[in-house]
Amino acid sequence: MIRALVAAGLALALAGCAGSRLKLGATEDGEVIEAEGWSPIEADLLATKRRSLIEAQKKAVERVVGVFISAKTRVSQAVAVDQNILANVGGYVKRYDLVSERREDGFYKTVIRAHVLYKKLGADLADLGLVRPEAPPGNPRVRVGLSGDSGADGAVRRVFVERGFQVLDAKGVGGDLEVGGTASARELYDPRLGGFKSWRARVELQAQRAGSGEVLARKTQEASGLDAVGEIARAKALENAGGLAAESLSAELSQVLTKRAAVTLRVAGVKGGLAGVQSLADHLRLEPDIAQVTLGEFGPAGAELKVTTEGFTGEELSKILTLKKYALQVRSVTPYLVEAAVAD
C-alpha cells in the first residue's frame, strides 16, 4: 500500500515533465504561465503535495480567466467560475512542469509552469455568459419591439445582449435606442419533404435614437425552419431570421456608435440670447473631439444643441461642460442627452 502511494505521488509530481521543458509565453493553443500553490502541511504528506499542486494549477488558470473577464465580473460571478471552471482545472491545463517544491512557515509550496488552453477556457466562459464584448460608447440602453409575428423578439434581444448592449425589459419605459421592425412567416409546401414542414420567415429591423427618431441602421433577413411539427418549424424560421438580422444590425450599429455619437445638449438660462448660444457653440466646436455643433431649438426655456462627437457620449461631454470656461452646472446625463444650466 505504501509503495502504491509513493508511486502515485511520483506520478503526480512528474506528470507534466515528460518531453521538453515548457517555456514561458504564448503557444498555438494557449499560454505557458508560472504559478505557485500553497497548502497547509498535514500528516499525510502525499495529500498535502497533491493539494499544493492543484492550487498551483488553479492559480495558473485563474490568471487566464482574468484576461477574459473583469475583476468586477470575477467577484460577482465567483460561484459560477469556481464551480464550472476552477473545479475542473485539469480540463484547461494541457501539461505542466514542476519547477520547485519547498516547505515554508507551515505550508507546502509548489511552483509549476502550466500550459493553459486559453481558447477552450474562453469558450467555456462564453458559454456561461460571462464573456461579453465591450459595450458601445455610453453603454446605451436598447428597447426591442417588433410588430407582426413576435416569434423573432427573443432572438433579437439575445443577439444584442451578446453584442454588449444593455437591453431593457420589454414592458418597461425609457431607453436610448429603439430597435423595431416587422416579422412574418409563411409555410412552404414541397412534397419532397415527406412528413416534414417547412416555413420561411422574413424579419425587417430598424435602429433609431429614442426621442429624435434619427434612423441609424436598417437590416432585412430571411431564413427557413424545418421540423415534423409545423409550429416548431415556424418558430425556428422566425428565430433564425431574427438572429441573423440582429447580428447584422448590431454589428453596423456598433460601428456607427463607435465612429461618431450625436448628443443632445439642453441648456437653461443662457445669457445674451442667440449671441450667447452662438458663443457656447463656438467654444464647443474648438474642442478636439467635437466634430459639429448645430442649434436644434431656442426659446424662453433655453437652447437645445445637437453635438456630434468623435465616439464619446453624454458622460464625457458633461465633464467638458464642467470646465471653468463654460460655467455650466450639469443636471442630468444619459448617453445621448445632457441637461445643464448656466451657473449663477
Q: pLDDT by residue (tens digit) across 214-229?
A: 899 999 999 999 998 8
Identify which of 22, 108, 111 has the alpha carbon closest to the alpha carbon of residue 59.
Answer: 111
Tens of pLDDT along 41-91?
999 999 999 999 999 998 888 877 766 665 556 666 778 788 878 888 888
Residue 37 has pLDDT above 50, yes or no: yes
Contact 155, 239 (CB under 8 A): yes
Contact 57, 117 (CB under 8 A): no
Q: Give the mean pLDDT of the chain.
A: 83
C-alpha to C-alpha distances, 29 to 65, 106, 122, nearest whole angstrom: 15, 37, 11
Domains of the chain: 2-127 (3.30.1660.40), 141-258 (3.30.160.150), 261-342 (3.30.70)
Can you say how many angstroms the Cα of residue 341 is from the centroid of all Cα atoms in its chain? 35
> Which residue type, as a one-letter code, is found at position 183?
A
Tens of pLDDT along 296-319?
887 778 888 989 888 788 888 998
Identify which of 203, 198, 210 has the alpha carbon closest to the alpha carbon of residue 156.
Answer: 203
Residue 334 has pLDDT above 50, yes or no: yes
Tens of pLDDT along 240-260?
999 999 989 998 888 887 777
Tens of pLDDT along 141-193?
899 988 876 678 888 988 888 787 888 876 667 788 999 999 999 999 988 88
Position 9 scores a pLDDT of 47
Position 53 scores a pLDDT of 93
Position 170 scores a pLDDT of 67
Identify which of 147, 150, 216, 137 has the alpha carbon closest to the alpha carbon of residue 178.
Answer: 216
Q: Which residue has the higher pLDDT, 277 or 241?
A: 241
Please report, rounded to a whole number, the percentage of residues in the chain having pLDDT higher than 90: 30
Identify which of 118, 117, 62, 121 has the alpha carbon closest to the alpha carbon of residue 95.
Answer: 117
Residues whose CB falls within 8 Å of the CB of residue 200, separated by 6 or more in sequence, listed in order: 185, 186, 187, 188, 222, 223, 224, 237
Partners of 197 in beta bridges: 227
**What is the arithmetic mean of pLDDT over 20-32?**
78
Band the pLDDT of 292: cuts 50, 70, 90: confident
Residue 195, φ and ψ in degrees, nearest 5:
-85, 5
